[in-house]
Amino acid sequence: MKIADPLLMREINKYHVLETIRCHGQISRVEISERTLLSGTTVSAITGALIEQGLIHATHTEVNGESHRGRPRVLLGLVADAAYVLGIKISEATTTVTLIDFQGEVVTSVQLPIRLSRQPVEVIADLIEDAMDDCINKSGVDRKRIRGIGIGVPGLVDPRSGRSYSSSVFGEREVPLSALLGERTGLPVKLEKPANLLALAEAWFGYAQRDKSFGVVVLDQTASLGIWLEDDVHRGASTLGPTFGHLKVGSEGIACDCGQVDCLNAHISEAALRQKAGETFGPDFLQTPLARTSILAALSEACDAGLHGAQGLIDGYGTKLGIGVSHVINLINPQKIIVVLDSPRFCELVEPAFIAATSANSFRAHFASTELIMHALDDQLWARGAAALMLRDIYSAPWTSAYQEEQQ
């Protein structure tokens, strides 16, 4: 591909104009030119075409509140109903479907509280399709306005083929989820692992909207990492992304499901934490309603109640996590590392040990320049990340597969 390809340059400029409008809301052409470093003529040509396409609209406002002086100021904004996308989060116990408009805002969301792990592939597709239908019907949005589907599945996911190869939801089965749902809906479907979707969500809607480099650590059934470098998710040569859960964080010889020992997952995965909690408090602890729903919330409650050994388990979790995160800081030194898990109280209890271990194992200058953020997992944020995966194609980001396929 030629660097000076005029079509490529036009698409790059269009993408940056749309991104600037999305990030800043109502904005003038002059401000767009200043923020993108594009000439006023280029910005006017691009925004004129976008208005004709119905993707943005112009609003005339008074200058300094005075309607009788000066030309009206023209502000540009995205047209919310120009297009819609569906974002889907699939987990072991729940599937969440969220409809997102062109501005990236949630229109409606539904949850399907059914375990998909033991279902045949066709039944899985049926259940997801039913949840999508329910979500669309609740919204009242015309199906013809929906432009694509983004899906987050935990485990090993190949975004090129749209297949899940190893997942806590589907097991070791090879599930061609993108192809199945694409055939049923007639829409483009993209599959990604949750950490990458949350990285995209944090870049668009969350804590990293102004950052060029950051990492998102997701602690769900297992530990995973999404890395954001130079306006895109970094997937590596295999496109499968980093296997954060298989970093080595100890020397205790604890076996991991991958066949090696002392991987991060062997110490802090949900299965590992349940095993440690059972050994510490007895099997009855694991049968309590809260522990069956969330082991992190159950440990937090036990710690607050003063149950002996609870804080020790939480501190051990934080220490191993901190060692794992220190590897990322030492190797990449991103501006931020955002750690996401499903219990707000557990975040508070584990944070001191996590920060202490991260600091103790990181190169001092790198640790000082990387901001650590910890917050609770939000299903809608995950789904918005899945939707943003498709919105980027609609924006015609030149480095996405949609643009590249058009040029072939």
> Each residue of 110-124: pLDDT tens digit?
988 877 766 777 888
The Cα 329–Cα 136 span in angstroms is 42
**Residue 50: strand, helix, or coil:** helix
- Convert 337-373 to b/e letters by CB count within 10 Å (16 or more is b): bbbbbbbeebbebbbebbbebbeebbeeebbeebebe
- R_g (Cα) of the chain, nearest Å: 23
Q: For residues 181 and 124, is the Cβ–Cβ distance under 8 A?
A: no
Enter the pTM of the model: 0.84
Tell me the backbone φ, ψ of residue 23, rounded to 5 degrees.
Answer: -70, -35
Q: Which of 265, 127, 235 is nearest to 184 (CA)?
A: 127
Q: Which of the residues in the chain have pLDDT under 70?
A: 1-4, 62-72, 117-118, 166, 168, 170-173, 396-408
- Locate 45 and state its tokens: 């040509």
pLDDT at 394: 78
Give burial (CB, 10 Å; 0-12/13-18/19+) of 238.
exposed
pLDDT of residue 2: 47
The amino acid at residue 151 is: I
All residues at 6 or more sequence positions from 184 whose CB lies less than 8 Å from its CB, including other chains: 125, 129
Tens-place pLDDT, residues 61-100: 765 555 555 566 789 999 989 899 999 888 777 888 999 9
DSSP code string of 157-171: EETTTTEEEEBTTTB
Alpha helices in 39-171 (DSSP H): 40-52, 121-139
Alpha helices in 249-378 (DSSP H): 264-268, 270-281, 283-286, 289-293, 295-304, 310-332, 344-361, 364-369
**Cα(9)–Cα(29) distance, rounded to whole angstroms?**
19
Please state, in angstroms and rounded to a whole number, the distance separating the CA atoms of residues 405 and 408.
Answer: 5
pLDDT of residue 404: 47
